[in-house]
Amino acid sequence: TVKGDIHNIGKDIVATLLTAAGFEVYDLGIDVPPEKFVEKLNQTDSTILGMSGLLTPAFESMKETVKAVEAAGLRNRVKVIIGGGIVTEQVGRYVGADAFTDDASEGLEMCRRFVKGN
């Protein structure tokens, strides 16, 4: 989860679904600051960044993380998906995400589409 959010159940469910589907998942834990996401992206060849948050303050942290990814020159390589019980299309636009969902199975399908280039 992003900085300021410690709700891990949804994140853990999505990580389990993705792993079971054959994705390599780097779970950074909870309350993760933007620089940790960027650090992991720099260490890997990841093309998808998933962020989770359940509280409204998480939106600002998500936005800060997207800005940090852009500043690091990684945004062209990385698709950003955000999730959480209160995530909406408006939040997705505000954050600068490529996709958003409040459903773990839908998140898996979005990641599959990203990998296929859709």
**Predicted confidence (pLDDT) at residue 85 exceeds the cutoff of 90:** no
- pTM for this one? 0.94
How high does pLDDT run on average in the chain? 95
For residues 59-77, average pLDDT = 98
What CATH number matches the domain at 9-116, 3.90.420.10, 2.140.10.10, 3.40.50.280, 2.40.50.140?
3.40.50.280
| Residue 57 in tokens | 């303050």
Q: What digits encode the pLDDT tens for the residues 19-38?
A: 999 999 999 999 999 999 99
pLDDT of residue 56: 87
Write down the domain spans for the chain. 9-116
Structure tokens at 98: 């490529």
**pLDDT band of 67, cuts 50, 70, 90:** very high
Q: Which residues pair with 50 in a beta bridge?
A: 81
Whether 117 has a pLDDT exceeding 90, the answer reads: no
**Residues with Cβ within 8 Å of residue 82, at least 6 apart in sequence:** 50, 51, 52, 53, 62, 91, 92, 95, 97, 99, 100, 101
Q: Answer yes or no: is pLDDT of 55 > 90.
A: no
Q: Is pLDDT above 70 for 59? A: yes
pLDDT at 118: 62
Contact 71, 41 (CB under 8 A): no
